[in-house]
Amino acid sequence: MLACRLDGYTDLPPGKLATLVTYLEMAAPPERMPASAPPDVEIHPYTPDRDSYRELFRAIGEEWLWTGRLRHTDAELDALLADSGFERFALFMQDRPAGLLELDFREDDACELAYFGLVPEAVGSGNGRFLMDFAILRAFARPISRFFVHTCHFDHPGALAFYRRSGFMPYKLAIEIMDDPRHGGLLPEGAAKHVPFIPLPDADTSTADQ
C-alpha cells in the first residue's frame, strides 16, 4: 500500500496518477436571476441508450480524464441509467446533445452534482452558466438542505472558479490516487494533454534487472 507523506513529496508507482480534489457545497440557491437560454439551446431530460450515453460522456470528459461511467459493464451501466435516484439532462444545441447534467438524489436530504460538462464546441457561449443555473434550481426543487460537488486539477482549469461563482463553497480537500486510464486503452494516450502521460517501464527490461 502506498503511504503518502503529509509533508513533502511522495513518488507514485508507474501507471498511477494523483490529483488534488476540492469538495464544495451550497445550502440554498443563490439570490440572483437564472441565466437565460443562449440562442438555439435547450435543456431536456436525457434517457439515452448506453452507446449514446457513452459517446456523449467521452465527447465531454475524455479531455478531463472522466472514467467513472466507462468502467461499468453494459449491465452495470444499464442499471445506472435506469436508477430512479438520478435525474439526467442534456443541453441540446441545434437538436444535438452538447452538454450533460446528472443529479444524484440517493443521499437523504442532499443532492450531488454527479456529472456536469459541455462538449468543446459548446464552451464559452454562456451555455455552462445556463446549464448550472438549471441544475441549481432543479436540485433545490426537492426538499434538500445540501447541494454538493467535487472537482480536481485534472478538470477544466476554470472549473473551480466557475463552481465558486455559481455559489458553491469549498469545505474539504483530498488527494485521489488512481490508475492512469490511458494505460490499457480505457482512454487514448493523447487524452488530457495537460496531464503528462508516462509510459510504463518495459516489462522485459524490468525483469532483466531483477
Q: Which domains does the chain have, with CATH numbers?
A: 18-180 (3.40.630.30)
Tell me the helices (H) and strands (E) count for the chain, helix number first: 5, 7
Which run of H or E residues covers position 89?
A: strand 86-93
Kindly tell me if the per-residue pLDDT of 12 is higher than 50: yes
User: What is the rounded average pLDDT of the residues 119-124?
Assistant: 92
pLDDT in tens, 82-105: 999 999 999 999 889 999 999 999
pLDDT tens digits for 188-205?
999 999 999 999 987 444
- Containing H/E element for 138? helix 127-140
User: Model pTM?
Assistant: 0.90
User: Amino acid identity of 30?
Assistant: P
Q: Across residues 8-36, what is the average pLDDT?
A: 93
Asked whether the beta carbons of 101 and 118 are under 8 A apart, the reply is no
